[in-house]
Amino acid sequence: MHELGHHGSLPAARTGQVGPWPEHHQTRRRLKQAIPVRTFTNWGEEQPSFLEIDLVAHCGETTEDQYLNTLTCTDLCSGWTEPVAPQRHTQEPVRDALQAMPRGLPFPLFGINSDNGSEFINDLLCRDGLQNQITFTRSRPYQKNNQAHVEPRVLRSSEKELVGRASYRLQTQEECAWLQSGYANLRLYINFFQPVLKLIAKEHIGKQLVRMYDLARTPYQPILEPKEIALDLKAHLTHLYVQLNPVPLRTSIMENLNVTFLFDATKPSK
């Protein structure tokens, strides 16, 4: 996370109030100035280790009170995706989820790119990145293709594959345990058996934009190629792959959908 050091120290963001804005607004504004905006040229995508992250709220039709969330983390190089379930939409649970997430990654974590939400752009997460030497960048505000890698995986991993309809509200400890258990199977299914098309080039032919894609591969396959990934880790992933069967995994995911209907049916109507 060396970029932050080039823009001044973060403690300066805590000093006093500037102008008519409250101090916490000034802190957030200075944090956004300190965290660089990622463009399409300043992150290498040839080596796994750099993740786009995004948060989906399972709040149903209202954002009142507390509710569960899905934090989806997708590697830019391989498409490897890790979904985790913070219990709240605030900086501490999101930080804790990000700290736990690398244990499931088959590669070291070097960098993350988030949107501009306060659950990501905050002093707690910035300092944690500095301590762990993780590069932290943010996407361009108000751009539809901000998170081009993680957005399709968010839809697949949290809304369609496991949770079902976006109108379901998840908030209890029982639902949190169910969500985390379901993601244990879902991450295996999407990383080992769901092919990903990776955009490799774009070209304007007349007035038409033509996109060119690499061959479709599952996220597991590109992990086996880089020399930076240890041989014993590659052997572990290969052993895990031959032990897995996509049919039972898919069946388990669909059974979790039925549990979603059960949770929703037992909640009192408003």
Q: Evaluate the CA torsion angle 57, 60, 63, 67 in order and state its sign.
A: negative
The pLDDT of residue 260: 56
Each residue's pLDDT tens digit, 179-233:
888 888 889 999 999 998 887 788 888 889 898 888 889 999 999 988 888 899 9
> Given a cut of 80, is residue 6 above it in pLDDT?
no
Q: Are 123 and 10 in contact (CB under 8 A)?
A: yes
In the beta sheet, which residues pair with residue 81? 74
> Given a cut of 70, is residue 1 above it in pLDDT?
no
6-10, 174-178, 256-260 — which is least confidently predicted?
6-10
Q: Which of 11, 79, 12 is nearest to 45 (CA)?
A: 79
Domain ranges in the chain are 2-17+35-265
The pLDDT of residue 18: 40
The pLDDT of residue 8: 36
Identify the CATH number of the domain defined by range 2-17+35-265: 3.30.420.10
Each residue's pLDDT tens digit, 53-84:
988 888 888 888 888 888 989 998 888 999 98
The confidence band for 102, taking pLDDT boundaries of 50, 70 and 90, is: confident
Each residue's pLDDT tens digit, 123-147:
888 888 888 888 888 876 655 555 5
Q: Give mean pLDDT, residues 151-178.
A: 64
The pLDDT of residue 192: 96
